[in-house]
Amino acid sequence: MRYLHHRFGLPLIFACVSVAAFAILRLVLLAYSWTDVNAHPWLLAKVFVIGGIYDLAALCYFAIPFWIYLALIPNRWYQKPWHRALTWFVFAASVYGMLFECVAEYFFWDEFGVRFNFISVDYLVYRQEVTGNIWESYPVVPLLAAIAVVTLAICWGVRKHVHAALASPMPRTRRFVAATGWLLLPAIVYAAIDGRLQNLSDNRFDNELAGNGFYQFVHAFRHNELDYDQFYLTADPAKLDVRLRALVNEKNAHFLSDAPLDIRRRIDNGNQQEPVNVMLVMVESLSASYLGVYGGKGNLTPYLDQLSNESLWFSRLYATGTRTVRGMEAATLSMPPTAGQSIVRRPHNEHLPNLGRVFQERGYDTRFIYGGHGYFDNMNAFFAGNGFEILDRTDIPDDEVIFSNVWGVADEVLFNQAIKAADKSFAAKKPFFHFVMTTTNHRPYTYPDGRIDIESPHKGGAVKYTDYAIHKLLEDARTKPWFKNTVFVILADHCASSAGKSELPVKNYLIPMFIYAPELVKPAKIETLASQMDLAPTLLGLLGYDYDSEFMGKNVLEMKPDEGRALISTYQALGLLTDHELEILWPQRKIERQLDPFGKPTKNISADAPATLPDAVVYYQAASARWRRHVEQQMKAQGGAP
């Protein structure tokens, strides 16, 4: 260990401790997910070897400021008592921070089944909600104390090596030469290593285990939006335009332009004149697997199970993504998810063609009603920029809040506000479209006592409480004069978990959607494969409204069975699901085809240049191009350069 006993040995001591901690974390995560990984010995060996490479790569980046500091501080200061104290403080703090990161990764894996990614970046941005969520969900103080104890033990164990490194002077020239050598490492790592190295298996858990949370966090921070044309498979614009028009065309649609990728069309739905109110309730994390009608256990959703027989039940509807903003994006904009973060969270997302605009043009009050603080995920800015009135936690009187947690008020409190807003529109003799977003079915899974037979907090109890609150909403609405002329849409934003052995586990995107209006809508079970982006054209078709459309979804009620498809995605994997295959577009211009996506085993075929134009390319390249064109138009209108 004498090679550690010099000035630059301090970062190496920390690196040794960190590599050991990262390896232990990888073992813990492997044990936790043992039934989901491919446990072949050779593959697991590769997981740990590649994982070690990522661990060292992350430490190279972390050590940059320390190498620079150690090169610059002169010998006369380096061995002073105050510098020894400072060194020990920084070393202990670094060890504590590294251990904290390992513990945080464990709980992140427990909830999401992955290493740190875009979600963790968002969590850093929205510290108030996330910190409160952690405080309410986990034994924070005991965990922090335990980390402190382990930190002290590690510092005691390496004390001789740290003292030896602090007692070793080094001439200035030698310091600068050594620092230059060490600083070349991050440059080499940056040039030689990227996220592809960990893709060593078809099993997603193996690939995630081979990563490093700190490295992936930085990577996610740097790559929160991907340029489609640069990273993904592209098609000739002329062929793309022809196929796009075929995919979005319907028998009652008339295109208004021949311009490339201009899919504006007039939709003739019969021109129903009498306005109908719409209350869209988007439910947080309501996986289809929770519902009894999908085979869920525990009787968690007795009311929604009953509602399936009294509504238009879309039994094969899939979420476009794994975050709330993806569900909002798909339901309002009726477009596929674009690579990177959701449009809801991007700049220049105002004045978009959206479902609310159709209602606004018919004189509706349109409101976004949320039980939390709508600055989270940029939700308020998105909806306000597209013509919605905003009602969030700041607008709810404290004396009406019977229960809340860090994410927002209990669902029944939120629904009371939605009913009050509906009363307000009715009194003003105006129809309304309300987009209501719930929060209860989210960690820490707390809810008011005395409502259900499961004590709070409980994950299944949060689902059952949400079911209770939806029942109460509809029963309370039934007493209102506007009820008979109102359509209620109950739709999940995404599933509770997206983790699976594959990158896009199909079953973890299946969500329920019910359209309920006992005086207006005849109950039926709709088994056509569909996506959240089909909501807007389906709802407007059901209402019989004519409108000008730029939507990329279609009216599911008019689709032929063989036209069914769903768009599902992560931040980088862009999928198109049909009854027979799942096409996945990857960065590096790769396409993967998984045959028989609902069965097993699944056969994977990769190709660089498919002979025919894949529809996945059509949907996602067109969505990206149309978004880019909108941004250019917005920037030009605001006087900026496109």
Q: What is the pLDDT of residues 581-592, one digit of tens each?
A: 999 998 778 898
- Where is pLDDT greater, at 378 or 113? 378
- Does 11 sit behind a cis peptide bond, omega within 30 degrees of 0 on the bond before it? no
pLDDT exceeds cutoff 60 at 245: yes
Closest CA to 55 of 88, 16, 2: 16
Q: How many whole angstroms separate alpha carbon 217 and alpha carbon 278?
A: 40
pLDDT exceeds cutoff 70 at 577: yes
pLDDT for position 269: 92
Q: Per DSSP, what are the bridge partners of residue 547?
A: 267
Q: How many whole angstroms separate alpha carbon 113 and alpha carbon 95?
A: 25
pLDDT for position 3: 64
- Where is pLDDT greater, at 46 or 310? 310
Average pLDDT (128-143) is 74
pLDDT for position 610: 66
Give the confidence band of 357 by pLDDT, cuts at 50, 70, 90.
very high
Average pLDDT (450-458) is 94
Give the confidence band of 642 by pLDDT, cuts at 50, 70, 90.
very low
> Which of 46-60, 527-541, 570-584 tops mean pLDDT?
527-541
Least trusted range by pLDDT, from 31-45, 147-161, 309-323: 31-45
Residues contacting residue 47 through CB under 8 Å, at least 6 positions apart? 26, 30, 200, 206, 209, 210
pLDDT exceeds cutoff 60 at 126: no
Average pLDDT (555-563) is 92
Q: Per DSSP, what are the bridge partners of residue 41?
A: none
Average pLDDT (218-231) is 68
Q: How many whole angstroms separate alpha carbon 5 and alpha carbon 12?
A: 10
Give the confidence band of 133 by pLDDT, cuts at 50, 70, 90.
low
Extended beta strands in 72-144, E state: none
- HSE at residue 181, side-chain half, CA atoms within 13 A, is 7
Closest CA to 341 of 381, 380, 377: 377
- Is 13:70 a contact under the CB 8 Å cutoff? no
Q: Per DSSP, what are the bridge partners of residue 605?
A: 593
- Where is pLDDT greater, at 419 or 220? 419
Q: How many whole angstroms separate alpha carbon 538 and alpha carbon 517?
A: 15
Average pLDDT (408-424) is 97
Residues contacting residue 228 through CB under 8 Å, at least 6 positions apart? 234, 338, 339, 620, 621, 624, 625
- Is 576:615 a contact under the CB 8 Å cutoff? yes
Question: Three-state SS for 582?
Answer: strand
Strands 408-409, 265-267: pairing kind: unpaired
Report helix angle 459-477 to 411-427, nearest 10: 20
The encoded tokens of residue 530 equal 């569909």
Average pLDDT (309-328) is 96
Least trusted range by pLDDT, from 103-112, 263-272, 309-318: 103-112
φ/ψ bin of 352: left (φ > 0), alpha (ψ from -120 to 50), beta (otherwise): beta
pLDDT for position 384: 97
Q: How many whole angstroms separate alpha carbon 224 and alpha carbon 219?
A: 9
Torsion of CA 91, 96, 102, 107, to 10 degrees: -160
How far is it between the farthest Cα atoms of the chain? Answer: 87
Instruction: Provide the 10 A C-beta neighbour count for residue 639.
Output: 6
> Which of 389-393, 559-563, 630-634 tops mean pLDDT?
389-393
The encoded tokens of residue 197 equal 């190295």
Q: How many whole angstroms separate alpha carbon 170 and alpha carbon 55?
A: 28
Q: Which CATH architecture has domain 237-637?
A: 3-Layer(aba) Sandwich (3.40)
> Which of 225-229, 269-273, 550-554 tops mean pLDDT?
550-554
Q: How many whole angstroms separate alpha carbon 22 and alpha carbon 156?
A: 20
- HSE at residue 351, side-chain half, CA atoms within 13 A, is 10
Q: Compute the residue count for the chain.
A: 642
Q: How many whole angstroms separate alpha carbon 55 and alpha carbon 15?
A: 9
Average pLDDT (125-132) is 57
119 burial level (CB within 10 Å; 0-12, 13-18, 19+)? middle
- Is 457:444 a contact under the CB 8 Å cutoff? yes
φ/ψ bin of 179: left (φ > 0), alpha (ψ from -120 to 50), beta (otherwise): alpha
Give the confidence band of 411 by pLDDT, cuts at 50, 70, 90.
very high
% of the chain exceeding 90 in pLDDT: 59
Closest CA to 245 of 232, 256, 234, 233: 256
- Does 457 sit behind a cis peptide bond, omega within 30 degrees of 0 on the bond before it? yes
- Where is pLDDT greater, at 603 or 339? 339
- HSE at residue 240, side-chain half, CA atoms within 13 A, is 20
Q: What is the pLDDT of residues 585-621, one digit of tens each?
A: 987 788 988 888 887 746 666 655 566 789 999 999 9
Extended beta strands in 423-533, E state: 432-437, 486-492, 510-516, 524-526, 530-531
Q: What is the pLDDT of residues 460-506, one digit of tens each?
A: 999 999 999 999 999 999 999 999 999 999 999 999 876 666 678 89
Rg of the chain's alpha carbons, rounded to an integer? 27
Q: Where are the domains of the chain?
A: 2-222, 237-637
Q: How many whole angstroms separate alpha carbon 336 and alpha carbon 620?
A: 6
Least trusted range by pLDDT, from 71-80, 141-150, 535-544, 558-567: 71-80
